[in-house]
Amino acid sequence: MKTVVVTGAGGFIGRSLCRFLEGAGWSVEALGSREADICRPGRWERVVGGARGVVHAAACQEPPAGCGPADRDRVRRVNVEGTRRVVRACVEGGVGRLVFLSSVKVMTGGGREFFRDEDPPAPEGIYGQSKLEAERAVMAEAAGSGLETVILRFPLVYGPAAKGNLARLAAWIAKRRPLPFGAVENRRRMLYLENALDVIGLALVHPDAAGRTFLAGDDRSVSTAELVRFLARGLGRRPFLVPCPPAVLRAAAAWAGRAQEAARLLGSCDFSTERIRRILHWTPRVDVRRGLEATGRWFAENGF
């Protein structure tokens, strides 16, 4: 039986990925994502040796605004040096292929609203910079070895049991609270969890994936207003959308110290998925409307 090691197995993607790969016939070694584990000397050499594949999903997320040097150092230590340690262990352990889960934040800096695989990186924030450095560490450490690498740049991954802003938004919809996004016409591309699992599984085995970096996303982008409507349909609620000018919302958010949160709800972040469709012949199994409706149904049945 094929063996695959999944780091970050306790996370939102990692938990479902382990079940998905087991269902696809893999023998899965699930590893947590604690900083002590990812940076511990000798840890990975003992675990990955002889594995056919490794999916490196463990990461330290973006620290809050105004964070200190210690928080920024931790992000880099886990995301860059931890990744470097994993890749070295894969090389030494004779692993066949490493799939590294990166982020579209390596491309979204400078206010870029649409991009393609071939565009130069423009990292956004500490997290985006650390992910770009990690990508470069993956390629440098694997160069000249027998380890095949695949880098997947993911946007926001959503689905049942999602946390953060999406869960908060669903809770507001369920309570029929007014949401001032009726006039927002932004475009944001996300990735439904089932689609993310499918593309990771493909990246582990497709012969043409080796040595490449791919953007992966749902079939199309959505506006925040559409996102609210699709979630509401799954929740069995009518959305209370109020048309408020985005400029007013941005000004109010800046005054309240929530400019970053407003940017995610009001700004655009769209990209082309042409390369992964052309090279791997991959198309999302679930369209964004059905994905958001399924997410809404899960919240309706399980709470927030």
pLDDT tens for residues 85-138? 999 999 999 999 999 999 999 999 988 999 999 999 999 889 999 999 999 999
- The architecture (CATH level 2) of 159-191+219-304 comes to Alpha-Beta Complex (3.90)
With a CB cutoff of 8 Å and minimum separation 6, the contacts of 150 are 97, 98, 99, 100, 203, 204, 209, 210, 211, 212, 213, 214
Architecture of domain 1-154: 3-Layer(aba) Sandwich (3.40)
pLDDT digits (tens, 9 = 90+) for 136-164: 999 999 999 999 999 999 999 999 999 88
Domain spans, the chain: 1-154, 159-191+219-304
Q: Determine contact, residues 20/14, Cβ cutoff 8 Å.
A: no
Domains 1-154 and 159-191+219-304 share a fold: no
pTM: 0.94
Least confident of 4-18, 148-162, 178-192, 253-267: 253-267
* Vertex 264: Cα angle to 180 and 179 (nearest 5): 15
Q: How many other β-carbons are positioned within 10 Å of the β-carbon of residue 211?
A: 11
The C-alpha atoms of residue 64 and residue 290 are separated, in whole angstroms, by: 32
